[in-house]
């Protein structure tokens, strides 16, 4: 009986899986979804790494800013660079909006995808003392989130989502604990400067390219945006996106926090516990995998393209 029971369960599982897989592909075909490419995202990381560290006063910073703008400019309905000055530091947040094809966009929901585009100016976690003073390469920490967003710029240019999608690139996330500076300076500035901006939901992607990617349910997101986090993990489970593990992570200070504090539902997708390469000279593209980026992209793609608007009351 036990064995039979198992066989029955296995058969049920196979039937259910086949059903859902075929439903997913049919639904995707029916909606003519564009397809997120982990390989193309990886190329965006390579580009940033080639520029160099995205730190203040380094030419790579301006080159990266120009590169991000170039990717967004042709198709974005709105593109704004918001310069700011805080803690004696100059930064730029970059904000692109993609509206649905039909123009009654103002009454529609919107979702924000955010990532930090700066990198850490020191490798303070490196075990080699001589390397500690060097800037991190930031393939994963900085580069990967930007890459995912830029790949979405391509998708949204091909086919608009049924809601407004804002791609926001935050500066100066990674100065935290250097000279007593806080993390997420750019995201805090963005929230303070754009108080009218109240998207129904948002997702921050940070450190999502490691070949051994593990994304648990970050705790601040759980406390402040449980429904959205549940939705993301339901999609991930259906897609069998193994990087998304269904367990509680830790409380992480990242760019979602200023939004949560302002009462906005923003979930952080971040590798945790942090990979060994974190804030070391080892945060290189060799540790990145297109497959990891693909999983994150697939989940976000389904989230964005199947979330319809709610009519305002
Ligand atoms: Zn960092």
pLDDT tens digit sequence for 99-141: 998 766 555 799 999 999 999 999 999 999 999 999 999 999 9
Distance 3 CA to ligand 1 centre (A): 50
Say if CB 265 and CB 228 are below 8 A apart: yes
The pTM of this model reads 0.88
Q: How far is CA 264 from the centre of its chain?
A: 16
pLDDT at 27: 54
Distance 243 CA to ligand 1 centre (A): 20
pLDDT: which is higher, 249 or 29 = 249
Cα 76 to Cα 99: distance, rounded to the nearest angstrom: 8
Distance 176 CA to ligand 1 centre (A): 8
| SS3 assignment for the chain | CHHHHHHHHHHHHHHHHHHHHHHHHHHHHHHCCCCCCHHHHHHHHHHHHHHCCCCCCCHHHHHHHHHHHHHHCCCCCEEEEEEEEECCEEEEEEEEEECCCCCHHHHCCEEEEEEECCCCCCCCCCCCHHHCCCCCCCHHHHHHHHHHHHHHHHHHHHCCCCCEEEEEEECCCCCCCCCCCCCCHHHHHHHHHCCCCCCCEEEEEECCCECCCCEEECHHHHHHCHHHHHHHHHHHHHHCCCCEEEEECCCCCCCCHHHHHCCCCEEEEECCCCCCCCCCCCCCHHHECHHHHHHHHHHHHHHHHHCCCCCCC
Distance 19 CA to ligand 1 centre (A): 41
pLDDT at 297: 98
pLDDT at 31: 56
Distance 30 CA to ligand 1 centre (A): 40
Distance 254 CA to ligand 1 centre (A): 9
214: confidence class by pLDDT, cuts 50, 70, 90: very high
Query: What is the average pLDDT score of the chain?
Result: 89
Cα 184 to Cα 56: distance, rounded to the nearest angstrom: 15
pLDDT tens digit sequence for 266-312: 999 999 999 999 999 999 999 999 999 999 999 999 999 987 554 44
CA-derived radius of gyration, the chain: 20
Report percent pLDDT > 70 for the chain. Answer: 85
Give the CATH superfamily of 37-306. Answer: Zn peptidases (3.40.630.10)
Report percent pLDDT > 90 for the chain. Answer: 83
pLDDT at 4: 35
pLDDT tens digit sequence for 158-200: 999 999 999 999 999 999 999 999 999 999 999 999 999 999 9
pLDDT: which is higher, 227 or 20 = 227
Inform me whether the pLDDT recorded for 22 exceeds 70. no
Report the relative pairing of strands 110-116 and 164-170 from DSSP bridges.
parallel
34: confidence class by pLDDT, cuts 50, 70, 90: confident
Q: How far is CA 148 from the centre of its chain?
A: 6
Inform me whether the pLDDT recorded for 61 exceeds 80. yes
Domain boundaries, the chain: 1-31, 37-306
């Amino acid at each position: 009986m036990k064995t039979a029971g198992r066989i029955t369960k296995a058969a049920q599982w196979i039937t259910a899986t086949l059903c859902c897989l075929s439903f997913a592909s049919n639904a995707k075909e029916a909606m003519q979804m564009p397809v997120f490419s982990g390989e193309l995202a990886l190329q965006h990381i390579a580009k940033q790494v080639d520029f160099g560290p995205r730190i203040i006063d380094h030419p790579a910073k301006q080159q990266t800013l120009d590169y991000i703008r170039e990717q967004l400019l042709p198709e974005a309905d709105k593109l704004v660079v918001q310069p700011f000055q805080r803690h004696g530091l100059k930064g730029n947040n970059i904000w692109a909006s993609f509206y649905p094809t039909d123009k009654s966009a103002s009454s529609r929901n919107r979702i924000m995808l955010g990532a930090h585009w700066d990198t850490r100016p020191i490798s303070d976690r490196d075990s080699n003392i001589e390397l500690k003073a060097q800037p991190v390469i930031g393939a994963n920490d900085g580069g990967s989130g930007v890459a995912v967003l830029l790949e979405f710029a391509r998708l949204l240019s091909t086919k608009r989502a049924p809601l407004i999608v804002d791609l926001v690139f935050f500066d100066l996330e990674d100065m935290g604990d250097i000279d007593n500076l806080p993390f997420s300076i750019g995201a805090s500035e963005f929230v303070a400067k754009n108080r009218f901006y109240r998207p129904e939901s948002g997702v921050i992607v940070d450190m999502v390219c490691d070949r051994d990617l593990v994304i648990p349910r970050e705790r601040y997101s759980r406390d402040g945006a449980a429904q959205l986090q549940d939705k993301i993990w339901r999609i991930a489970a259906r897609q069998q996106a193994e990087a998304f593990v269904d367990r509680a992570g830790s409380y992480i200070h990242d760019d979602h926090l200023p939004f949560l504090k302002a009462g906005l539902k923003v979930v952080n997708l971040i590798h945790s516990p942090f990979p060994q390469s974190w804030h070391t000279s080892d945060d290189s593209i060799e540790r990145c995998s297109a497959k990891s980026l693909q999983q994150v992209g697939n989940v976000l793609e389904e989230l964005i393209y199947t979330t319809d608007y709610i009519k305002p009351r």
